[in-house]
Amino acid sequence: MLLENFEKFVFEKYRDNNEFDEFLKDDLEFDLELERENEFLISQKPVEEMSDENVLDYLEEINLYEPLTEEEYEEFTDNLEDEEAKEKIIVDNFTEIAKIALYFLRDGIEYLELIQEGVMGAVEAINRYSYDNGNIKKYIKIWAGRQMSFYIEERFEQMKQEFLYYFTKTHMDDVEITNEEKEQKIKKLESLSIDDVAFTLSKNEIKAIEYYFGLGLDKRYSIFEIEQEMKLEKNQGEPLFSMALAKISSRDGRMFSL
């Protein structure tokens, strides 16, 4: 299921954790595809440089973890009552969660916060998992994506309500707009949905981050190798990667402008 369809699906039908868990047991073929329908809705906000170096530090740090072998993964999955086994599997999924967050990330959301939400979703998955749920890696991915979706929706509704409160409760003498302008802004706010909030990264920017940090891959790629893999012209890889890194490191909290 494409990302935006997945978001609508869980928003409208599966907000309850137990009901969602039962749905996944009944439909083992269900999956979250890391593909977006609205690739045209990409953020156009100007970004000049990184404002949060913790993002770079985090992506470098999770690359230091040695991935579990298939045998280790099976062993730990057989012992999920053990807290250490759970932790090993969660840590092994850090790079996958970081990758998923690149696709979900929208304006007004901080990348590291979204990753943290994904980790919370992964913990929920591990605590619920049984062999009736099928592939554990896919199960974790779905729960991580669901948690990210709810977090983005919550932030959107919170910001929307804050703006509505400001425009409805603030005295006109305190703002430099006319009554007509105020009413127009309120109408625009009321009509906004999460679908109007731009995604932070383009498909190529996501791929550049994935290749450079080896997210979901068997190795990390140099800028030169990224240009080859993505069939870019010479010297296009560096600015593409730098822009993508700057975007996910931005602390600009605006989801939308009025």
Q: Is residue 146 part of a domain?
A: yes
Residue 118 and residue 8 share a domain: yes
177 & 130 share domain: no
User: What does pLDDT average to over the chain?
Assistant: 92
Q: Is residue 254 part of a domain?
A: no
In a domain, 24, yes or no: yes
In a shared domain, residues 112 and 223? no
The predicted structure's pLDDT at residue 110: 95
Task: Identify whether residues 7 and 75 lie together within a single domain.
Answer: yes
Domain's final residue, options 153, 186, 212: 153
pLDDT grade for 256, boundaries at 50, 70 and 90: confident
Distance of CA 98 to the CA centre of its chain: 8
Q: Are residues 25 and 117 in the same domain?
A: yes
Residues 208 and 114 in one domain: no
- At 29-79, the pLDDT tens digits run 999 999 988 888 898 887 766 677 899 999 999 999 999 999 999 999 999
Q: What percent of the chain has pLDDT over 70?
A: 96
User: What is the structure's pLDDT at 185?
Assistant: 84
How sure is the predictor about 141, in pLDDT bands with cuts at 50, 70 and 90?
A: very high
> Do residues 144 and 32 both lie within one domain?
yes
Claim to verify: residue 192 and residue 90 sit in the same structural domain: no
Q: Determine, yes or no, domain membership for 113.
A: yes
CATH number at residue 149: 1.20.120
165 and 241 in a single domain? The answer is no
> Looking at residues 208-219, what average pLDDT do you find?
95
Please state, as a whole number, how many other Cβ atoms lie within 10 Å of the Cβ of residue 100.
27
Distance CA 120, CA 126 (A): 10
pLDDT band (50, 70, 90) for residue 172: low
* 258 within some domain: no
The pLDDT > 90 percentage for the chain reads: 77
Q: Give the pLDDT score at 80.
A: 92
Q: Are residues 121 and 37 in the same domain?
A: yes
Q: Rounded to whole angstroms, what are the CA distances from 195 to 14, 87, 101, 189, 210?
A: 19, 35, 17, 13, 25
Q: Is pLDDT at 151 greater than 80 in this prediction?
A: yes
79, part of any domain: yes
Is 144 inside a domain boundary?
Answer: yes
**Model pLDDT, residue 53:** 87
Domain of residue 184, residue span: 157-196
In sequence order, the 6+-apart residues with CB closer than 8 A to the CB of 97 are: 115, 118, 119, 122, 144
Q: DSSP character for 198?
A: P
Residues 144 and 167 in one domain: no
The reply to whether 52 and 95 lie within a common domain is yes
In a domain, residue 121? The reply is yes
Confidence bin at 175 (pLDDT 50/70/90): low
Number of domains observed in the structure of the chain: 3
